[in-house]
Amino acid sequence: MGLASPTQAQEVSVHQHTTAKAKVLDILKTETTTIPGTDTQTSMQTLQVEILNGTEQGKVVTVENDYLSLEKGEVFYLLHTVDRFDGLDYYTVSDPYRLPVLGFFVGLFVLLVVIFGGKQGIRGLLSLVVSLFFIFYLLFPGIMHGYSPILVSGGVSSLIIVLGSYITHGVNKTTTAAVIGMIGSIIVTGILAFLAVHFGRLTGMGTEESVYLNFNTSGSIDFVGLLLGGILIGLLGVLYDAAIAQAISVEELHRVGPHLPRQFIFARAIRMGREHIGALVNTLAIAYVGVSLPLLLFFYTSAENLTLTINRELFATEIVRTMIGSIGLVLAVPITTLIATHLLIRHVPRGDQETIKEEKEALTHVGHTH
């Protein structure tokens, strides 16, 4: 028995669904038809397919396919629907069989990380596995068992930050500074996210998957909390990169200039952090546009007023998510840098006053050297 999709879950009282792998034996007919009620044309195939597993393994059936053009010999997932009223069978194309392609790119990613990342790359992969373990075996079950999505997300985020950072970068003061900086940034941005969701009157029900999930769980999930939890989890990647970079910057600057006091190390690290902020904020915004490109194009081609479009919960949620992520990134730089300078530079030397004066003058004019 295959897993039912959200739409199928709503129809379970009327229809019975099973999903199995199938193979295209022959393409009997290909034609272009018009989708009923529209002027949009689509390709329609009549396929002869063999079911490869499940209770109907070996059975050959004919399938009308207007979802995705398939080729002879191609393997795909076949959805078998049985109407409980009249007992009729319906076969439709569910999805292409993508697992070999996905497996190839996952393997390529792991190989490249090991080759070019070395031990650090392997530790990063281990950290990724631990993070996924926490998400699948703590976050998801915790939310589904009725615990507060905010508390569960916050707890899982903290575990991912602490264990993931120490696994990847080792147990040292630099990692500790980054961890404290990330946790501090998440607390501040979490408060801002709560205020944005509360005053923006966001319900967390702006997408179809949220509506389906609400039906599947009989309304037992707090979707406002789930939205906040999702924002917190989404912050991790951005904050992790910025915090680790700032902590390492402070460490390296202190090694190169051990004669420099904290304020100069802080100022130099902040200078480096500004460049990082400029690059990552732009990257973050573009990444969100890339993920939502079909939706953005849909509204771009509609006649709806722009302000009305932006005001819709679907767009408002993504704007809040992007802004909170960007704010978290910006705050992570000074917070982590301040913590790192105090944690890594315990004794402030008086230093060579002439050298310090030269460093101060260089720092003052650094913005004019481009």
pLDDT tens string 89-131: 888 898 899 999 999 999 999 999 999 999 889 998 998 899 9
Q: What is the pLDDT of residues 145-169, one digit of tens each?
A: 888 888 888 889 888 888 889 998 8
CATH number of 6-97: 2.40.50
Q: What angle do CA 154, 156, 161 make, to 5 degrees?
A: 95
> Does the pLDDT value for residue 8 go beyond 60?
no
Q: How confident is the model at residue 26 (pLDDT cuts 50, 70, 90)?
A: very high
365 or 66: whose pLDDT is higher?
Answer: 66
Q: How confident is the model at residue 72 (pLDDT cuts 50, 70, 90)?
A: very high
**pLDDT of 233:** 86
d(CA 30, CA 369): 65
In this structure, the number of other CB atoms found within 10 A of the CB of residue 242 comes to: 27
Q: How confident is the model at residue 369 (pLDDT cuts 50, 70, 90)?
A: very low
The answer to whether 150 and 168 are in contact (CB under 8 A) is: no
Q: Report the share of the chain in percent with pLDDT over 90.
A: 31
Give the CB-side neighbour count of residue 196, counting CA atoms within 13 A: 22
When pLDDT is averaged across residues 345-368 and rounded to a whole number, the result is 58
Q: How confident is the model at residue 353 (pLDDT cuts 50, 70, 90)?
A: low
Q: Out of 250-264, 324-338, 342-356, pick the least confident.
A: 342-356
**pLDDT of 49:** 93
Q: Out of 21-35, 57-71, 267-281, pick the least confident.
A: 267-281
**pLDDT of 365:** 58
When pLDDT is averaged across residues 242-268 and rounded to a whole number, the result is 89
At residue 92, φ and ψ (nearest 5 deg) are -140, 155
Q: In the numeric block, which tokens belong to residue 5?
A: 């999709």
**pLDDT of 7:** 43
Matching CATH number, 118-368, of 2.60.40, 3.40.91, 1.20.1640, 3.40.1000 = 1.20.1640
When pLDDT is averaged across residues 250-266 and rounded to a whole number, the result is 88
**pLDDT of 122:** 92
Nearest of 218, 232, 228, 216 to residue 182 by alpha carbon: 232
Q: In the numeric block, which tokens belong to residue 338?
A: 């301040």
pTM: 0.73
Give the residue extent of every domain in the chain: 6-97, 118-368
Q: What is the pLDDT of residues 292-343, one digit of tens each?
A: 777 778 777 777 787 888 888 888 888 888 888 888 889 999 999 999 999 9
Strand order in the sheet with 89-96: 60-65, 41-51, 15-34, 75-83, 89-96
When pLDDT is averaged across residues 216-231 and rounded to a whole number, the result is 86
Nearest of 119, 242, 243 to residue 178 by alpha carbon: 243
> Does the pLDDT value for residue 249 go beyond 60?
yes
Q: In the numeric block, which tokens belong to residue 75?
A: 């393997």
**pLDDT of 314:** 84
Distance of CA 286 to the CA centre of its chain: 14
